[in-house]
Structure 1
Amino acid sequence: MADSRPVTSSPAQPTTRFPILATAREQVLERGEGLSPAQLLEVLQLPDAALDELLGLAHEVRMAWCGPEVEVEGIISLKTGGCPEDCHFCSQSGLFASPVRSAWLDIPMLVEAAKQTAKTGATEFCIVAAVRGPDERLMAQVAAGIAAIKDAVDINIACSLGMLTAEQTDRLAAMGVHRYNHNLETARSYFPQVVTTHTWQERWETLRLVRDAGMEVCCGGIVGMGETVEQRAEFAGQLAELDPHEVPLNFLNPRPGTPFGDLELMSGPDALRTVAGFRLALPRTVLRFAGGRELTLGDLGARRGLLGGINAVIVGNYLTTLGRPAESDIDLLGELQMPLKALNDTL
């Protein structure tokens, strides 16, 4: 986590037409106290005319409480498709008529992917599997993959393998996994509309086990799945209660053949309001641009998001969808004079 003191002092409070932004400047920027769900709801309901001021404030908060560095991560799918769960946004579910089919990577391919990720300047490499939770075969494959990666390249290794038992969390920590991703996906009140084959509470329990095992907690979700702005504010409040080290923020990219395949894309202004709002609710957290930003925001939106509270990115492709070329994101960070977080700062 970032230091509890601001990195920079803020200028005198400017005048604003929007009282919630004056409140946020004093509460979040000056004192480092995140907005409550009720306060965040006011932010998410601000008009487009307030967007530039909101993004500017979120950027000040990011710089003050996290600093200028950007953490870069690459992800790879070790086991793709054939998942028994019914997450309505996901084309990897074996229950939907979506085009993704089950496949496994071998260890040499995993190592090569880690090497290519490190070449971009990334400090994080996340191994992902489309499963309810890992069986013994998957745990053995992950152990072999981690050992091979550690022998070949200097990079932090994270995992996202679904729901875990206490014994599995301990084993992953012993393998050297320093961060574990398991998204809550959405507000607890909306979760039954997104997933029916397991509960929000089951996900929360895995996150508790991850923290107890000594790994960093990575937990975020997807916005634009039909939830209300009230539920977005609720979700941010639940993440703040969890206090994860990292929050990956995804925007729904509707996938053919899934129950959410016909939903409309979230609007750019709503997406940017969400980015800035989550920064004001989570001032010290690593807030990572993740899937869907290319469609929802485009190149200009990516720039505005990086100047509106984001301090981490996933580069390259995602699990089943294309992302921006890694070089494009690295070049943009250079243009914005945002240094990449060094590996020795993340260990």
Structure 2
Amino acid sequence: MRRAVDILEVAREQVLDRGIGLDEQQALACLQLPDERVDDLLDLAHAVRTKWCGDEVEVEGIVSLKTGGCPEDCHFCSQSGVFDSPVRSAWLDIPSLVTAARETANTGATEFCIVAAVRGPDERLMSQVRDGVRAIHEVVDINVACSLGMLTQEQVDELAAIGVHRYNHNLETARSYFGDVVTTHTYEERWDTCEMVRAAGMELCCGGILGMGETLEQRAEFAVQLAALEPDEVPLNFLNPRPGTPFGDRDPMTSVDALRAVATFRLVMPRTILRFAGGREITLGDLAERGVRGGVNAVIVGNYLTTLGRPADQDLAMLADLRMPIKALAKNL
């Protein structure tokens, strides 16, 4: 009788040995592995990460320049002005932005991301970003990233010209599930912004949120669609249900499902920065360390946009305990 092909044997030869990421059906096979094989999956993902990315871990801090009042209806987001959530619109001034960047740099972070809850930036926001990036570069030795929604070509070109190192624009979920998550704009609009960012020479940061109700098939679809964009970084968020949003009563992912997903995304994208982002505290808890030893090579330290993260010193201590060096600053400006 012919022996069934073992997906981990296939992945070891294809991904670890040759650096070729898994395709959609192979990714699905990993996501369907039984619980007792998850440790083997994580160990393989860690070996892949170490071989194709090295052992360094990138640390990043984020701050919201413009919070709340967003006109879009992303069903997971408490910053949407469409839903009855407790987050209200607010702006951060430039001195506070610089202070946040300095505090982030003091943790050893190499990246500081300016985020705004908008469909896309208007002239007021672009002016604030212009001034903020300039002010940060004058006094803080850190790379500056931005996440400002969907962009025009002119805005992409300006951000690249003022020295924005990386731009974050998440696809959020698989194309086939996108309409269940957002209705006020399309998957294709997000994709177009990502393509323009890459073409302009900025690094592309593009990921999404897992555990929003997508099937395992859609999770595998999402992984390979991200890989097709060839992003420099993929932030993996896990749904942290927010009161007042359409997804506010959904249950968080289980820890084992989250770990399975982390390892699978690493095997789909062996050379990409894979970052732990929002929701890992409630989804993984004390198992975050296992995720870092299962394919992740970047973390956001401190708080997120509307939810609390772990104190930065706890994450830094975890990396020290794991003997994973923090990536040194290397500006590409």
How high is the TM-score relative to the length of structure 2? Answer: 0.98
Q: Is the partner of 2:144 in helix, strand or coil?
A: strand
- TM-superposed CA distance for 1:18, in Å, is 7.4
Q: Which residue of 232, 235, 241 maps to 2:222? A: 235
CA distance in 2, matches of 1:227, 1:35: 20
Per-residue CA distance 1:197-243 (angstroms, 9 max, x = gap)? 00000000001111111101100000000000000000001011111
1:312 aligned residue = 298
The AA in structure 1 aligned to 2:214 is E
CA distance in 2, matches of 1:162, 1:345: 24
Q: Which residue of 93, 102, 105 maps to 1:115? A: 102
Per-residue CA distance 1:284-343 (angstroms, 9 max, x = gap)? 0000000000000002x1100000000000000000000000000001000000000000
Contact 2:110 2:328 in 1 (8 A): yes
Per-residue CA distance 1:30-76 (angstroms, 9 max, x = gap)? 00000001000000000000011000000000000000000000000
Contact 2:142 2:331 in 1 (8 A): no
Q: Is the partner of 1:239 in helix, strand or coil?
A: helix
Q: Is the partner of 2:302 in helix, strand or coil?
A: coil
Q: Which residue of 177, 180, 197 maps to 1:210? A: 197
CA gap 1:56/1:18 in 2 versus in 1, 3 angstroms = farther
Q: Which residue of 244, 262, 267 maps to 1:257? A: 244
The AA in structure 1 aligned to 2:297 is N
- TM-superposed CA distance for 1:86, in Å, is 0.1
Per-residue CA distance 1:244-271 (angstroms, 9 max, x = gap)? 0000000000000000000001000000
- Number of residue pairs aligned between Structure 1 and Structure 2: 331
Q: Which residue of 275, 279, 289 maps to 2:276? A: 289
- TM-superposed CA distance for 1:345, in Å, is 7.1
Q: Is the partner of 2:176 in helix, strand or coil?
A: coil
How high is the TM-score relative to the length of structure 1? Answer: 0.94
Contact 1:18 1:50 in 2 (8 A): no
Contact 2:143 2:331 in 1 (8 A): no
CA distance in 1, matches of 2:70, 2:92: 16
The AA in structure 2 aligned to 1:143 is R
1:22 aligns with 2:33: no
Name the Cα RMSD after superposition: 1.2
Q: Is the partner of 2:59 in helix, strand or coil?
A: strand
Contact 1:86 1:196 in 2 (8 A): yes
Q: Which residue of 92, 96, 107 maps to 2:83? A: 96
1:138 aligned residue = 125
Q: Is the partner of 1:91 in helix, strand or coil?
A: coil
- TM-superposed CA distance for 1:346, in Å, is 6.5
2:329 aligned residue = 343
CA distance in 1, matches of 2:38, 2:11: 14
Q: Which residue of 29, 52, 75 maps to 2:62? A: 75
CA distance in 1, matches of 2:200, 2:152: 11
1:297-308 paired onto structure 2 within 5 Å: 297-299=284-286, 301-308=287-294
